[in-house]
Structure 1
């Protein structure tokens, strides 16, 4: 078992013990000092293990460093013997171009391409072709993006066959209600005001990737897994940044931009938040949305929140264990699931540092599949390299104006 796996197993054990101890005392009773001290000790151990896990992850993959990205992707690129026909065709194209495909693979690929994409490819020179990524590969890429804890993991995701503008009607009916009428009484008029939210798409590039011939020729090297990891890192980072902070002008409208203020921090809370303000933030969301609400924040914000206790001497943060497995539980704050997103602002004066709400009302749209191009022109060939670049079209916007997601803004002073 790797060191990282050992650390995660230790964290699961400590987190489960903390969860069980926290549940031992009924929620309407104050936790006794002995249990409170034991819980504090367990939470401190979980935090220490989290620090070790973060360091290991940092060693394995330094964020933003191109060389480390390549090394991490190569380490993950292990051969999968049970590849599907689509994956086998993709791997052949990546390694040797279109000329490396069998006639059956070539026919199948052209059959699924639209004329515009087909025109961008050469049927005589394999090294010049572009390739619309196989459905399986594209699906795996999206799943990988979701698994990073990005906005995609909690938003509503749709895929369209074209990039034509989509308009969604919006309204806020949370304050509207009917009436009680006497017999033969005329009903009153209550008009609903509708607006429109546009869900436009924008073109994203992975930037080009240059690989030496030696890697492509190595039969033990899984080029498909390698490219997928790099696409996840590069396309995922810029899309998630826009999904959080996008202005909506020549780029997607991010969830922070689309949110409204739910609570402004009490004076003095420029780099912190108090329990009462979190309660106010939760209750700024209409109960009609609250059943599916969760928190989103930067990891540094969570670090501060882990130290807050409620009036019953209970920590408002409860660590999860075996996340994603049957019987497991995610980390929770005030009983709500937490999504960590490093593009959320760290707590500072006037910072919109915490989001709370129903993120299913935030819509992410992808157009068709990722398009991947293989390049062997002179700029690459003279260096003994093959170049790759990927493009995709995606957009995002809030399609609800009833206040489904709100933010906590730290105090200005």
Structure 2
């Protein structure tokens, strides 16, 4: 047991005795013996607290001394930790877990953000971050939605409550108040596993120590992740995969024609979303729909996109931003081509981080290894009953 932990436990024990005595004598005067014990316990607590503070201060000083010594050593040796780590990672990929030198193994174990070498799995934190950034710029759902991580993949219950119909009212003196229970509900987030295709990497390529391996893997794997995840988070049917936002969203009052959108349709879509959601609202549509919307003019003949382009700010629709998502349906009969609302209510649950798996034997005859990635996620629209995101559905043909 560490010294600081032991001191903290002693302090907690004294506090427990103080609290017990306080509860025992609550509402009455302490006896002489109780008062004497009370004073002694307070003195013991002050003494224990002082020792804890001293030990905490010492450990902080010790930590700073260690950091400064490490920095001096790195400066003296002239080594770049990032370069060392990259070389160690290449050695792992080229030689496998058992082929990593003792020196590089220590480097792996001491580096933060690394999942370890067990089971052939190695996750450099820099690589996971670069993949995440590429995903956000690829599809649209991870950019617009509210992404959060969990440590495990069990079902996650997201509670909801709707009390919007409850109103205060005038009640005469000595009259009973009315009773009305809020409407509680819940939605469940699961954890669906996505795997990329296997990427073969030649051992000759890995032997080139100057090769930027992280950038290569980020480029190869992120597009595959992005395509699969974004499509399902947009239009997934919820059967063995996430239910997409198109299927979560509620149809608006807008009723555009089967093959076109008018300015009035955009206005009706915005109007159909409650003001509390609309103030943080944004649009979502694909590129084809964007080009159609750019052509819309107001009653004075001005393009509705003109204001944003004129002052150099990003284009907007009625001062609301938009997200491009090419998995959104095109304008067409029965399609939901435009979404509007508060996308922070669309929750995207990721389990831990991305993982990269190394396959040693699959491509050995080609002097190559196989690498693939996987991630677990699900998404839902947290709707307590007042529909934070609405969709514009075109008339049938």
Under a length normalisation based on structure 1, what TM-score does the superposition of the two structures give? 0.70
Greater Rg, structure 1 or structure 2? 2
**Is the 1:199–1:365 Cα contact (8 Å) retained in structure 2?**
yes
Separation in 2 of the partners of 1:328 and 1:158? 33
1:130 paired to 2:132: no
Q: CA offsets per residue over residues 48-94 of structure 1, 9 Å max, x none?
A: xxxxxxxxxxxxxxxxxxxxxxxxxxxxxxxxx88387666545433
1:273 paired to 2:261: yes
Distance 1:164 1:270, change over 3 A: same
Separation in 1 of the partners of 2:378 and 2:145? 12
- Which position in structure 2 is the counterpart of 1:35? none
SS in 1 for 2:353: strand
Distance 1:329 1:306, change over 3 A: same
1:192 offset after TM fit, Å?
Answer: 1.5
**Is the 2:115–2:121 Cα contact (8 Å) retained in structure 1?**
no
Which residues of 2 match residues 69-84 of structure 1 at below 5 A?
A: 83=82
SS in 2 for 1:170: strand
- Which position in structure 2 is the counterpart of 1:369? 353
**Is the 1:86–1:134 Cα contact (8 Å) retained in structure 2?**
no
1:400 offset after TM fit, Å?
Answer: 2.0
1:371 offset after TM fit, Å?
Answer: 1.6
Separation in 2 of the partners of 1:111 and 1:287? 42
**Is the 1:357–1:405 Cα contact (8 Å) retained in structure 2?**
yes
1:139 offset after TM fit, Å?
Answer: 2.6
**Is the 1:172–1:400 Cα contact (8 Å) retained in structure 2?**
no
Distance 1:174 1:84, change over 3 A: farther
- Which position in structure 2 is the counterpart of 1:247? 237
1:230 offset after TM fit, Å?
Answer: 1.5
**Is the 2:357–2:373 Cα contact (8 Å) retained in structure 1?**
yes
- Which position in structure 1 is the counterpart of 2:107? 105
1:190 offset after TM fit, Å?
Answer: 2.2
1:305 offset after TM fit, Å?
Answer: 0.7
- Which position in structure 2 is the counterpart of 1:298? 286
Separation in 2 of the partners of 1:88 and 1:347? 51
SS in 1 for 2:82: coil
1:344 paired to 2:343: no
1:237 offset after TM fit, Å?
Answer: 0.9
- Which position in structure 2 is the counterpart of 1:3? none
Separation in 2 of the partners of 1:387 and 1:112? 20
Q: Between 214-223 and 352-361, report the one with greater CA deviation.
A: 214-223
Separation in 1 of the partners of 2:368 and 2:182? 61
Which residues of 2 match residues 7-406 of structure 1 at below 5 A?
A: 83=82, 89-98=88-97, 99-100=99-100, 102-108=104-110, 113=115, 118=118, 120=119, 129-131=120-122, 133-266=123-256, 269-318=257-306, 329-377=313-361, 379-401=362-384, 402-406=386-390
Separation in 2 of the partners of 1:388 and 1:217? 16
Under a length normalisation based on structure 2, what TM-score does the superposition of the two structures give? 0.72
Q: CA offsets per residue over residues 82-121 of structure 1, 9 Å max, x none?
A: 838766654543344332451312433799648xx83x2x
Separation in 2 of the partners of 1:89 and 1:173? 57
Distance 1:243 1:86, change over 3 A: farther
Highest relative contact order (Cα 8 Å, sep 6+), 1 or 2? Answer: 1
Distance 1:349 1:143, change over 3 A: same
Q: CA offsets per residue over residues 128-177 of structure 1, 9 Å max, x none?
A: x222x233322332222112251111111111110011101123344443
Gaps of 5+ in 1: 1-80, 121-128, 322-326
**Is the 2:149–2:350 Cα contact (8 Å) retained in structure 1?**
yes
Q: CA offsets per residue over residues 348-376 of structure 1, 9 Å max, x none?
A: 10001110010000001111121211122
Q: Over the residues paired in the alignment, what is the CA RMSD in angstroms?
A: 2.6
Distance 1:315 1:181, change over 3 A: farther
**Is the 1:159–1:367 Cα contact (8 Å) retained in structure 2?**
yes
Separation in 1 of the partners of 2:211 and 2:307? 38
- Which position in structure 2 is the counterpart of 1:7? none
Separation in 2 of the partners of 1:159 and 1:213? 34
